[in-house]
Amino acid sequence: MRTLSFNRLCVVAAALLLITVMPSARAAPDYIVIHAGMLLVIPGVSPKASQTVVVHDARIVDVLDGFATAEELELTDGQLVEIIDLREQFVLPGLMDAHSHLMWSSRDLPPKKPEDLTREDLVLWTMRNARTTLASGFTTVRDLASDPYVMFAARDWINGGKYLGPRILAAGTPVGALGGHGDRTKIDVDPSDVLASGSCDGRESCRRAVRMQHKLGADVIKMMATGGFHDQTGTGQLFFFDEMEATVQAAHQLGMAVATHVYAEDAVADVVRAGVDSVEHGFGASDASLREMKKKHIYLVPTLSIAQRSGRPVTVYREKYRAFERALEIGTPIAFGSDVGGIPHKFAAREFRYMVAAGMSPAAAIESATVNTAELFRLSAEIGTLETGKLADIIAVNGNPLDDIMALETIDFVMKGGVVAKRDGVVSDFFLD
């Protein structure tokens, strides 16, 4: 694949505009006043009934008891005010997914053979998946491993406010062992693909791979410490410890967190010793590693959904839940991650039901996808709760997810940064069809 040039990006942008239904020309309100039947301001703290949330300039500026009117809020002096009635809904902070693949899809595939897909195709496909993700209530995601030229272009258009989608933190190409999990480079490829590759061999090579991803625009580094289930190498360790350590040191020096794909216990122990920020999957983690993660405040991102997607018997995927169950008992920090892309994007919220089935309380599951993910993303000052001053990332559901976590699988209302993306279950006109 070739790098997307400016002119080719313009073609993609024009295509997006042609297939986008533009919003109506009515003026945007100065203030949005939300009347919430039940409001979960801070996940982990009990919700409150009959609350008013006031939004202005993308942020929450007030949270009040009762259903306040514009007159009571003194917002009637020439200011355009919109009242949103969610008095029958449960309102909570926008959800976050720490392990997403917006460029990829499971089952629901592009209308071309994979070998025929261009980067222009993949940008459009990524935008489509971003639409589904936001409509599913996920207002911020961390994309871990996609073509950097595709993902960074999509991220910049969405984060820049040109198209609606979740707020995106992107890793680009994963950093991993030459020939290991995630290494898709071939000898006879465009030089830009070789330069963008995260494959490395030795400390200096791994440092260079990290710096290249940073140069291309990565927000976070994805490190591949082991193989995957479908690799010829199996799920064993592929990186030497000195390569892991060099990768982590280089990323941290550049201010980037490191999310690590890892299965086998020996590799989990090594990545924890190397000081990564999150352990992705971690199915083989021992109690000793989970305790060390608790001590170092390293997050486990369990991705239980991928154990379900194979359709194997319960006895098989239960083995993959054991580390998660032990993490709950030990008190290891846990952040929500679905590995969506490996599963259909519309099913990301099913991760909640698997977490609860494995022993997590609904309240803790919601906290893992809000407060905890915000901390992992280093965005706690901006998102994760509905406190005054935070960005107005707000969703609403019918039913109480603290009683039935599956309520989060049907989202009625979505607001991201003060912009309504879904109302009464209907996706905003600004989305792609």
How many CA atoms lie within 13 Å of 45's alpha carbon, on the beta-carbon side? 12
Q: Would you say residue 310 lies in a domain?
A: yes
* Within-domain flag for 184: yes
| Pair 366, 341 in one domain | yes
* pLDDT on residue 199: 76
Cα within 13 Å of Cα(251), Cβ side: 29
Place of tokens 């559901």: 397
Give backbone dihedrals phi and psi of 41, rounded to 5 degrees, phi first: -70, -50
Q: Are residues 125 and 113 part of one domain?
A: yes
**Residue 342 confidence (pLDDT):** 86
For residues 413 and 423, the answer to whether their CB atoms sit within 8 Å is: yes
Q: Which tokens hold the place of 97?
A: 């997914």
> Does a structural domain hold residue 180?
yes
Residue 12: inside a domain, yes or no? no
Spatial distance between the Cα atoms of 31 and 69, rounded to a whole number of angstroms:
12
Among candidates 311, 316, 279, which has minimal Cα distance to 297? 279
CATH of the domain at 55: 2.30.40.10
Digit-coded pLDDT (tens) for 172-215: 899 976 544 444 554 445 555 555 566 798 999 999 999 999 99
Residues 358 and 405 in one domain: no
Cβ count near 14 (within 10 Å): 9
Helix pair angle (119-135, 6-18), 10° resolution: 50
Tell me which residue range forms the domain holding 356. Answer: 95-376
Q: pLDDT below 70 — which residues of the chain?
A: 1-26, 107-110, 177-198, 227-237, 309-320, 429-433
pLDDT of residue 77: 83
Our measurement of the distance from residue 102's CA atom to the centroid of its chain's CA atoms, rounded to an integer in Å, reads 9
Please tell me whether residues 350 and 271 are part of one structural domain. Answer: yes
- The model's pLDDT over 140-168, given as tens digits with 9 standing for 90+, comes to 999 998 899 999 999 999 999 989 899 99
- Burial bucket for residue 19 (CB in 10 Å: 0-12, 13-18, 19+): exposed
Residues 342 and 228 in one domain: yes
- Residue 11 vs residues 5, 19, 184: alpha-carbon distances, Å: 10, 13, 27
Residue 293 maps to a domain: yes
Quote the CA–CA distance of 88 and 85 in Å, as a whole number: 8
- DSSP for 261-308 reads EE-SHHHHHHHHHHT-SEEEE-TT--HHHHHHHHHHTPEEE--THHHH
76 located within any domain = yes
Shared domain for 314 and 335, answered yes or no, is: yes
* Cα–Cα distance for residue pair 127/142, rounded to 1 Å: 15
Whether residue 254 lies inside any domain: the answer is yes
Determine how many CB atoms are found less than 10 A away from the CB of residue 410.
Answer: 13
Per-residue pLDDT, 23: 43
CATH number of 280's domain? 3.20.20.140
Co-location of 200 and 88 in the same domain:
no
Name beta bridge partners: 225.
Answer: none
Domain total of the chain: 2
Q: Are residues 359 and 409 in the same domain?
A: no
Does one domain contain both 161 and 143? yes
**Dihedral (Cα; 363, 364, 366, 370), 10-degree rounding:** 130
Boundary residue ending a domain (376, 398, 415): 376
Q: With the CA atoms of 182, 184, 190 and 194 taken in that order, what torsion angle do they form, in degrees rounded to the nearest 10?
A: 40
Name the phi and psi angles at 21, rounded to 5: -85, 115
Indicate the residue among 340, 356, 376 that finishes a domain.
376
Residue 78 lies in a domain: yes
Last residue of a domain, one of 356, 376, 396: 376
Same domain, 170 and 73: no
What is the arrangement of strands in the sheet containing 31-39, beginning at the earlier edge strand? Answer: 59-65, 48-56, 31-39, 81-93, 394-397, 411-416, 419-423, 426-427
Please state, in angstroms and rounded to a whole number, the distance separating the CA atoms of residues 21 and 428. Answer: 9
* Pair 293, 418 in one domain: no
Instruction: Tell me, yes or no, whether 133 and 66 share the same domain.
Output: no
Predicted pLDDT at 129: 94
Q: What's the pLDDT score for residue 60?
A: 99
Q: What is the DSSP string of 163-211?
A: S---EEEE--SPEEETTSTT----SSS-HHHHHH--EE-SHHHHHHHHH
